[in-house]
Amino acid sequence: MTYLITGGAGYIGAHVTRAMTRAGQRAVVLDDLSTGDANRVPEGVPLVIGSTLDRDLLNRTIAEHGVSGVVHLAAKKQVGESVELPLHYYRENVIGLTVLLEAVAAAGVRSFLFSSSAAVYGMPDVDMVREDTPCLPLSPYGETKLAGEWLVRATGAAHGIATANLRYFNVAGAATPELADVGIFNLVPMVFEKLENGRSPLVFGDDYPTADGTCVRDYIHVEDLAEAHVAAALRLTEWAAAGAPRDLTVNIGRGQGVSVREMVDLISEITGIERSPEIAPRRAGDPARVVAAADRIHDELGWKAQHDARAMISSAWAGWRHLRDA
């Protein structure tokens, strides 16, 4: 069994590739290296440099490496940028996925795992976000992920491919310092940058209907996320081998909420850099609480997150210092 991992040189993709190889699975990575780093790909794993928009390259890669399953993570993923560049996001995330699915169906590949996002839900007004919570994305990025789920599900049904859509919540942490997130787009690295530069971290709104007035989110360690991919990919392979392809859509989260204030305080404690946060006005579209119901993935795959917020921040901080010292 050989899995094609698109985007496998990126932050999440590299963790998934590492987890797959540690589980004894063969992998080949396809990445255009626009945000990925070839040094993240484990030794012995072939790296094909290119885009999912390149059908000829996809055909050759699938044939030459005997690909029998796909884990598709390659995508543009910045919400704000997607608002400014919707055509670019739809081309990369939807058309790129379409071309990949065409190649997969033509080659007879029988399992396909899609990296989706909690962004498909938009601003849900519920205590726990379940997989049947209505999907009302608020950005072109979220729209492309929801459209991607539709494409994957429909293609699987039409071509006998076992498929899964994994909806990530807020990803943080690192398995090793070398695999840390190099982007400064999410809460944890944004707070690191502020503290390291002697500035107060920003908290957008402290008047939400939550325990401390700040937004509550579900944070998931990237190593747990990678293990969820392995569990899902192996289950899809079992279904395909049994000749009973199915479709699975699951949240990947801890099922526990942590407020922004709690995260900032914990980051200050772990880094040893104390600065009171600056309270800024609410951001448009920020719901008070977004926490995953994570029971379906446990029931279907036996998976459960193992790392807490402290482990996420500690590993992310070790990675931050490593990357700054490199």
For residues 317 and 62, what is the distance between their CA atoms, to the nearest angstrom?
38
C-alpha angle 271-272-275 in degrees, rounded to nearest 5: 100
Across 274-309, b (16+ Cβ under 10 Å) vs e yields eeebebeeeeeeebbbbbbbbebbeebbebebebeb
For residues 97 and 114, what is the distance between their CA atoms, to the nearest angstrom?
9
Residues 6 or more apart whose Cβ sits within 8 Å of residue 256 = 218, 291
For residues 176 and 160, what is the distance between their CA atoms, to the nearest angstrom?
38
For residues 117 and 82, what is the distance between their CA atoms, to the nearest angstrom?
14
For residues 119 and 75, the answer to whether their CB atoms sit within 8 Å is no
For residues 169 and 130, what is the distance between their CA atoms, to the nearest angstrom?
12
For residues 198 and 278, what is the distance between their CA atoms, to the nearest angstrom?
13
Radius of gyration over every alpha carbon of the chain, rounded to an integer in angstroms: 19
**Active-site residue, selected from the candidate residues 3, 89, 90, 141:** 141
Is 89 part of the annotated catalytic residue set?
no
For residues 256 and 43, the answer to whether their CB atoms sit within 8 Å is no
Give the residue numbers annotated as catalytic, written as ranges.
Answer: 141
